[in-house]
Amino acid sequence: MRVILVFMGVVALTGCLSSPPQSSYYLLRSDAKPAASSQVMPVTLVSVDVANYIDQEGLVLESSKGEVQTAQYHLWAEPLRHSLMQFMSNEISANSGRVVLNGLGAGPADTRRLTITIDQLHGSVDGDAVLTAYWTLVTEKPEGLVSQDYRWSGRLPLSEDGYAALVAAERALLVELSKQIGSTL
């Protein structure tokens, strides 16, 4: 009987020690107020495409040059490609003073169309947040469609250790990207 009690105690203690850490979930939300309707031709944000390695639940860290690890317990609360669409729409609108419509077919036929590709969005081995993005602005003109391509990269040191600081730095980089995009509109 004593052996059974000791065994049950060891099993119970092992169970407590091996329980996984609690997951943390992060939302990407914009505090910016979108621009009010104006006389300037609106822009439609058609899509925000995200590189496959970051289009997943876990936050991504570069562990060495060219090697990345995905966090198991620090997760985006919703698919990043969806939250980025709303976030970038609000931020670009606020930073450009233009109405940025969200989604394909949301605006009039003469709307300028914007597509964004997020190629990198992760924590670096040096303790920075990294963002690389491309965007294309297509405008319909009497002579036909005019397409302009742009690229922007940024790095921002984390204010402290931890995933919450990584999310805050990534958010700050996305705001800076929206300012860069807004300046091209």
15 in a structural domain: no
Q: What is the pTM of this model?
A: 0.83
- Residue 72 in any domain: the answer is yes
**Is the residue at 154 inside a domain?**
yes
CATH number for the domain spanning 163: value is 3.40.50.10610
How confident is the model over 20-79, as pLDDT tens digits? 789 999 999 998 876 666 556 788 899 999 999 999 999 999 988 789 999 999 999 999
Q: Please indicate, yes or no, if residue 180 is contained in any of the structural domains.
A: yes
Residue 141 has pLDDT above 90, yes or no: no
Quote the domain boundaries for residue 121. 40-184
Confidence class for position 101, pLDDT limits 50, 70, 90? confident
Q: Is residue 126 part of a domain?
A: yes
Q: Considering the chain, what is the average pLDDT of its residues? A: 84
Mean local confidence (pLDDT), 115-138: 95
The predicted structure's pLDDT at residue 18: 63
Per-residue pLDDT tens over the stretch 167-179: 999 999 999 999 9
Residue 183 Cα distances to 10, 52, 100, 137, 178, angstroms: 64, 28, 13, 12, 9
Is 35 domain-assigned?
no
pLDDT digit string (tens) for 3-28? 333 334 444 444 555 677 899 999 99
Residue 93 lies in a domain: yes
Q: What angle do CA 173, 174, 178 make, to 5 degrees?
A: 120
Of 11-25, 86-100, 117-131, 132-146, which one has max mean pLDDT?
117-131
The string over 78-113, giving b where at least 16 C-beta atoms fall within 10 Å of a residue's C-beta and e elsewhere, is eebeebbbbbbbbbbbbbbebbbbbeeeebeeebbb
CA–CA separation, 90 and 110 (whole Å): 21
Q: Is residue 69 included in any domain, yes or no?
A: yes
Q: How many domains does the chain have?
A: 1
